């Protein structure tokens, strides 16, 4: 894909499920526990014509590797359409995720990253903090995280 970076916006679960299913579940059921929690946020990246080319989910959740973290959030269900990869949709989603979590007082973003995507998250500023582990039936993963600069109460408004 060439052209402008997609715009990222908060959307309902119904908007993210088709791409999540196609990319991460081989077209199968793609709902995850916690998708409907009130604190869970779904983001979609759209091209100017409105097509959804990327999705991600964010939710407050304890970090297994930073049990003392004050306000950790987990990033899950990250997927971009194969036709746009390498053109900035993934980056736009991570940048929007960071901004959203910081705006909600979060100070840590973490994920179980597919090993094949670890290079992407590293490029985005995440660090690998675990050995490789298997998530059946998907495959090898690593734990990754990024410290965020929390917004001050004044910035939070």
Ligand X SMILES: CC(C)(COP(=O)(O)OP(=O)(O)OC[C@H]1O[C@@H](n2cnc3c(N)ncnc32)[C@H](O)[C@@H]1OP(=O)(O)O)[C@@H](O)C(=O)NCCC(=O)NCCS
Q: Contact residues for ligand X (CB under 6 A)?
A: 23-24, 78-80, 84-91, 113-114, 116-117, 119-120, 123
Dig out the tokens for 15 from the structure: 């908007």
Closest to ligand X by CB, 70 or 133 = 133
Residues in a beta bridge with 60: 73
What is d(CA 25, CA 63) in angstroms, rounded to the nearest whole number? Answer: 24
Closest to ligand X by CB, 11 or 24 = 24
Closest to ligand X by CB, 57 or 91 = 91
In whole angstroms, the minimum distance from the beta carbon of 92 to ligand X comes to 7
- Identify the three-state secondary structure at position 77: strand
Q: How many CB atoms lie within 10 A of CB 78?
A: 24
In whole angstroms, the minimum distance from the beta carbon of 30 to ligand X comes to 12
Dig out the tokens for 116 from the structure: 């094949």
């Amino acid at each position: 894909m060439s052209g402008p970076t997609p715009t990222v916006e908060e959307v309902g679960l119904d908007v993210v499920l088709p791409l999540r299913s196609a990319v991460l579940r081989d077209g199968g059921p793609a709902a995850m526990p916690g998708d409907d929690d009130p604190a869970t946020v779904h983001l979609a990246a759209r091209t100017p014509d409105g097509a959804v080319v990327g999705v991600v989910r964010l939710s407050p959740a304890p970090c297994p590797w930073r049990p003392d973290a004050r306000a950790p959030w987990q990033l899950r269900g990250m997927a971009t359409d194969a036709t746009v990869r390498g053109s900035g949709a993934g980056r736009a989603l991570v940048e929007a995720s960071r901004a959203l979590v910081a705006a909600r007082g979060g100070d840590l973003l973490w994920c179980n990253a597919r090993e094949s995507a670890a290079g992407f998250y590293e490029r985005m500023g995440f660090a690998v903090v675990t050995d490789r582990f298997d998530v059946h039936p998907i495959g090898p993963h690593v734990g990754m995280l990024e410290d965020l600069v929390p917004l001050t109460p004044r910035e939070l408004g």
